Chains A and B, each alone.
Chain A
Amino acid sequence: METHISIRNLNAHYQDQQALKNISLDIPKNQITVIIGPSGCGKTTLLKSMNRFLDLVSGTQISGDVLIDDESIYAPSVDVTEVRKKVGLLLQRPFPLPMSIYDNVAYGLRIHSMHTRGHSLDTAVQHYLEMAGLWDEVKDRLHAPAARLSVGQQQRLCLARGLAVEPEILLGDEPTSALDPLSALNIEKRLMALKEQYTIVLVTHILRQAKRLADYAVFMYLGEMVEHGPAQQVLENPQQERTRAYLEGEF
């Protein structure tokens, strides 16, 4: 098992409250890692430490380190936009950009001047919409406003737009929780297919979803990482009492 993201002694504080307590964790490459735990335990915070999104919240303090491909993403010389290009993020609720479907996918390609590298923009847009499983539904109205899509379609559009900047890692913060069951399954199917090429880290509250998707699992509680390991082990046969209690619905 090859490590893609390595979290080392990570502590995170919001103004007065410690949200992450000395987390050390290796996230395997080309697998789906699922983070579970009760509300407020720091899942989102942990996820956002991996694409430098904690920088956006004023008053946060971070110590420790996060390495991607053995390089610190918090080193002073690192360009934040490069980190975020490499690490895509799906939010809980999809937020398309205020433009057409086509432009949503092309946005990242344009700001990173990626389409000038010989590829035509049209081909790239089609390619990523296909990867996200949205092409057939939108190919006749590429220039319609993205806001007109259904929520499920919007989330797939957000996936396509994230894939377009050619990340290596995809983060998802409960990416299906705002969707209807069928759309949620659709997203799950995409993620399963994508793990061949991407390292995926998902936060979820749905245990059955965790079991369906996870190769590797992390259980958090009150800012601490209680248990981590192969999904089979953590989700079916936890070693820690608190993990077992959570899985049995005691929290």
Chain B
Amino acid sequence: MKRRFSRRYLEEKFFQALMGLSLLLVTGSLAGILLTVVIKGAPALTLDMITKTPQGGYYLGKEGGILNAIVGSLYLAGGGTILALIVSIPTVLGLNVYARGTRWADLVRLSLDLMWGTPSIVYGAFGFTLMLALGLKASLLAGIIVLGLLELPIMARAVDELIRMIPEELEESSFALGANRFETALFVILRQILPGLATAILLAFGRGIGDAASVLFTAGYTDRIPDSLMAPAASLPLAVFFQLNTPFPEVQQRAYAAALILTVIVLLTSLGSRWLAGRLGRYTIR
């Protein structure tokens, strides 16, 4: 009975150690990032930061806050997410209900995967070209469109995987009652994936709100809160970028505060979507 040193025992121990290491790596990196942001950003995080637009002093403001970037980012990412949702739901339902197994469906999936891998600066450049062609200036609308495109593959592929996991019998159950494809897609398939959809929306929103390169040329940057779709809009990632780039320590500190605010927003949406997914998941058939 030399169990302690058998090959299988060592294998087990090895993979246990590997698992522990990966856990440490993931949580450690997260903790490192959070700590940096909190330690450097917290001192500058006054109430003014989240309630006022930039005022006085240096370029980008020394007083006041970054409400322009907070609101701008929420508008941009929120708009982009809604746009991506509006486009991806019909696309994906179509892929799985009407075009199942066709070459057309394969082509759409491939395109989405390629879009997913495209760097966001390319989206920005593409959006910029498009704006020039349409005679559009850097604006909230242009930013929303580009973020919508950036988020589309994430949302669409996530929802696609959700739908592909649905057991065939669930659709058949609906067909057996005399429902057509449209009713089945809308009332059964969509209902079944609703909790997963909440997660997909978060993923897309998270990528949208955190992206700087795509909104750089398209939404521009401004000290004001956008009052129309045609007005330029500031955003948190750009607020971080520009402020970190200044030579003034006070302004640099505000960059970390902006990063902290961005992190908190992502954290809150993450928790919110988990809660929502839990509630909606009560009806899911497994």
Contact = CB atoms under 8 A, between A and B. Distances in A.
Interface in A141-160: 145-147, 158
Contacts of A14: none
Interface stretch (B65-73, B140-148, B278-286): B278-286
Contacts of B175: 53, 56, 84
A88 interface: yes
B170 interface: yes
Interface string B176-196: 111110010001100110000
Contacts of B179: 81, 107-108, 111
Contacts of A146: 283, 285
Interface string A85-120: 100110101011111100000011001100000000
The prevalent SS among residues of B at the interface is helix
Contacts of B282: 145, 147
A98 B170 CA distance: 9
A99 B283 contact: yes
A98 B178 CA distance: 17
Contact of B172 (A56, A108, A161): A56
A116 to B, nearest CB: 16
B214 to A, nearest CB: 35
Contacts of B101: 58
A81 B178 contact: yes
Given A97-B170, A97-B285, A99-B191, A81 B180 contact: yes
B192 A53 contact: no
B22 to A, nearest CB: 33
A140 to B, nearest CB: 17
B269 interface: no
A96 B178 CA distance: 15
Interface string A206-240: 00000000000000000000000000000000000
A88 B101 CA distance: 27
B12 interface: no
Most buried by A among B101, B173, B178, B284: B178
30 contacts: A53-B175, A53-B176, A58-B101, A81-B179, A84-B176, A85-B177, A88-B176, A88-B177, A91-B172, A91-B176, A95-B169, A95-B170, A95-B172, A95-B285, A96-B285, A97-B170, A98-B170, A99-B283, A107-B174, A108-B177, A108-B178, A111-B178, A111-B183, A111-B187, A146-B283, A146-B285, A147-B284, A147-B286, A158-B173, A162-B176
Interface of A: 51, 53, 56, 58, 81-85, 88-89, 91, 93, 95-100, 107-108, 111-112, 145-147, 158, 161-162, 165
